[in-house]
Structure 1
């Protein structure tokens, strides 16, 4: 089921991301860079059934490797240290991050051939859309 997410995805739009980063507690300077950065998202599978998700940009590259439904430690692009769980829910790849008593989720789904990432922190929602590179 994760197979449909495998590939290299190029960001084409980002809506409300500054407000989302504010809700996360990201500082002004990092938000400025984050708003200008259009990362590629590279999703792959290895032989052990681990999923690798790499976010690549000129600013920073982050990479996480995980098995579905198994908690792991993640250091995010904005340097938060989170406990993260990835799961598949109704065809969506859902990433739940918890840190310092807070929680955010990123729901990724394939819609009309695009990868749509919905980032939710409280009542703040950002949507980032990617297209698959050929």
Structure 2
């Protein structure tokens, strides 16, 4: 799992606007997201304790969690989330409940890049990051 730990710079995205529209992100925030280059930081403390910080423009989402334990967090749009993160081999798999939406986020390192795949209602967005 140590391959995911580090600071990651945005490289590219596919269908992020469609994904954000599906979960109800306002158009103005989608426009800002399209123009920004998110920064992703993943740290691991002792054992199964992790922190993920995502910075998009002036919005920062940071949450700490223990693998396999449910936790509450807040989306970049300020909406409450219920989440749990598990490890599947070298992949970090997060499930989120956002209102009526069940979101699946899979993070893995592929060819040296961190790839984050986010799926809701059969709509998938992919965001790739390179190690800073």
Q: Give me the TM-score of the superposition, normalised by structure 2.
A: 0.93
1:14, distance to aligned residue in structure 2 (A):
1.1
Report which stretch shifted further, 88-97 or 113-122: 88-97
Residue 130 of structure 2: aligned partner: 131
For residues 97-118 of structure 1, give each alpha carbon's deviation from its aligned partner in whole angstroms, at most 9, with x where no partner exists: 0132320111011111110001
Matched residue SS, 1:26: coil
Residue 109 of structure 1: aligned partner: 108
1:89, distance to aligned residue in structure 2 (A):
1.6
| Counterparts of 2:33 and 2:83, CA distance in 1 | 21
| Counterparts of 1:60 and 1:23, CA distance in 2 | 20
For residues 20-53 of structure 1, give each alpha carbon's deviation from its aligned partner in whole angstroms, at most 9, with x where no partner exists: 0011111111111122121111111123641011
Task: Please state if 1:86 is matched with 2:85.
Answer: yes
| Counterparts of 1:85 and 1:49, CA distance in 2 | 13
Structure with the bigger percentage of strand? 2
Residue 45 of structure 1: aligned partner: 44
Q: Give me the TM-score of the superposition, normalised by structure 1.
A: 0.92
Could you tell me which runs of 5 or more consecutive residues in structure 1 were left unpaired when the two chains were aligned. none
Q: Is the 8 A contact 2:117 2:126 kept in 1?
A: yes
Residue 33 of structure 1: aligned partner: 32
User: Considering only aligned residues, what root-mean-square deviation do their CA atoms show, in Å?
Assistant: 1.3
Q: Is the 8 A contact 2:8 2:129 kept in 1?
A: yes
Residue 2 of structure 2: aligned partner: 3
| Counterparts of 2:13 and 2:93, CA distance in 1 | 18
Could you tell me which runs of 5 or more consecutive residues in structure 2 were left unpaired when the two chains were aligned. none
